[in-house]
């Protein structure tokens, strides 16, 4: 079940502005919402999304640590430390994973156009509001914002002792998680975006990789192997470093 917390700097939120924004940005939807002062719910194409406003900080020991380790948002810890209220957003009555995540991303992006929004937490991923909106807007061009759905972890990067990569979230789409182990001799940015491309390609094309498969993403060709996970539970797909 897709679940997110929208972090707020200020204990207030206007659901009427959200509905106006949602209808303006994604006008293809026809729905009758339920709402009161602190809650709303909508059912679209058989899927239900609910949101609750809570006038105090989101209490999670993981939030500060994940903010500190955020690669895409360097000052995340300072920004999210300001929050003193939050929204909890959940999607139920799921259809297929892709359709469910598309609707969820449209709802979340429409929630972010208010001044007191300071972050989006999809554990373990943490997003700056402007970045989330930009990625979600690719849906207008029929592209999938897979970077919002699958988190890329980079253990060791903060310590400066090389880096590996592993994904969190591929299992939501019925796929094995990806790992790249001990890629210290590689350029970090190139390796990171290789991971991003592979995630997007796998979800968009519903691909199941097997041991020994080869992939070519642009000019970068790699061999894949399947074995017990190093950073993830169960079997994972290893990308040659």
Tens of pLDDT along the chain (241 residues) come to: 789 999 999 999 999 999 999 988 887 667 778 888 899 999 888 899 999 999 999 988 889 888 888 878 888 989 899 999 999 999 987 788 999 999 999 999 999 999 999 999 998 889 999 999 999 999 999 999 999 999 988 876 555 556 788 999 999 999 999 998 876 556 777 778 888 888 999 999 999 999 999 887 666 678 899 999 999 999 999 987 6
- Let me know the angle formed at the C-alpha of 231 by 123 and 98, rounded to the nearest 5 degrees: 45
Residues 137 and 191 both lie in one domain? no
Q: Are residues 135 and 211 in the same domain?
A: no
Final residue belonging to a domain, choices 142, 168, 202: 142
The phi and psi torsions of 57 (rounded to 5 degrees) equal: -65, 150
List the domain range (segments joined by +) for residue 223. 151-239
Does residue 40 share a domain with residue 131?
Answer: yes
pLDDT (0 to 100) of residue 218: 63
CATH for 125:
3.30.310
Tokens of residue 84, six digits: 């003193």
With beta carbons less than 8 A apart as the criterion, state whether 71 and 65 touch. Answer: no
Residues 16, 111, single domain; the answer is yes
Q: Tell which of 142, 163, 190 closes a domain.
A: 142
26: three-class secondary structure by DSSP: coil
Identify the bridge partners of residue 56 per DSSP, sorted by sequence position.
none
In a shared domain, residues 70 and 122: yes
Whether 15 and 40 share a structural domain? yes
Q: In what order do the strands lie in the sheet with 165-168?
A: 151-153, 165-168, 177-180, 235-239, 220-228, 214-217
229, 171: one domain: yes
Return the pLDDT at 232.
92
Sign of the Cα torsion 122, 123, 125, 126 reads positive
Do residue 176 and residue 220 come from a single domain?
yes
Q: Give the per-residue pLDDT at 132.
A: 97
C-alpha distances in Å from residue 202, one per residue of 2, 26, 102, 166, 210: 19, 26, 16, 15, 12
Asked if 113 and 165 sit in the same domain, the reply is no
- Are 22 and 115 within one domain? yes
Query: Domain end: 142, 172, 207, which one?
Result: 142
Longest dimension (CA), the chain: 55
pTM higher than the cut 0.85: yes
Q: Are residues 18 and 114 in the same domain?
A: yes
Per-residue pLDDT at 197:
87
Please state the domain count of the chain.
2
Asked if residue 158 and residue 132 are part of one domain, the reply reads: no
């Amino acid at each position: 079940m897709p679940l997110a917390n929208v972090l707020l700097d200020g204990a207030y939120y206007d659901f009427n502005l959200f509905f106006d924004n949602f209808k303006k940005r994604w006008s293809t939807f026809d729905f009758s919402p339920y709402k009161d002062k602190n809650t709303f719910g909508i059912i679209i194409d058989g899927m239900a999304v609910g949101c609750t406003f809570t006038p105090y900080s989101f209490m999670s020991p993981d939030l500060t640590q994940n903010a500190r380790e955020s690669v895409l948002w360097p000052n995340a810890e300072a920004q999210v430390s300001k929050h003193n209220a939050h929204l909890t957003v959940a999607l139920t009555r799921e259809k297929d994973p892709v359709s469910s995540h598309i609707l969820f991303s449209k709802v979340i992006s429409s929630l972010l156009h208010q001044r007191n929004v300071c972050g989006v937490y999809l554990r373990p991923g943490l997003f700056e509001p402007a970045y989330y909106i930009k990625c979600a807007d690719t849906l207008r061009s029929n592209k999938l914002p897979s970077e919002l759905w699958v988190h890329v972890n980079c253990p060791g990067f903060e310590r400066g002792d090389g880096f590996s990569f592993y994904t969190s979230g591929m299992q939501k789409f019925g796929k094995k998680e990806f790992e790249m182990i001990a890629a210290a001799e590689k350029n970090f940015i190139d390796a990171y975006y290789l991971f991003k491309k592979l995630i997007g390609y796998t979800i968009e094309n519903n691909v199941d990789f097997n041991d020994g498969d080869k992939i070519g993403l642009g000019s970068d060709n790699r061999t894949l192997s399947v074995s017990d996970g190093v950073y993830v539970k169960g079997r994972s797909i290893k990308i040659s470093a």
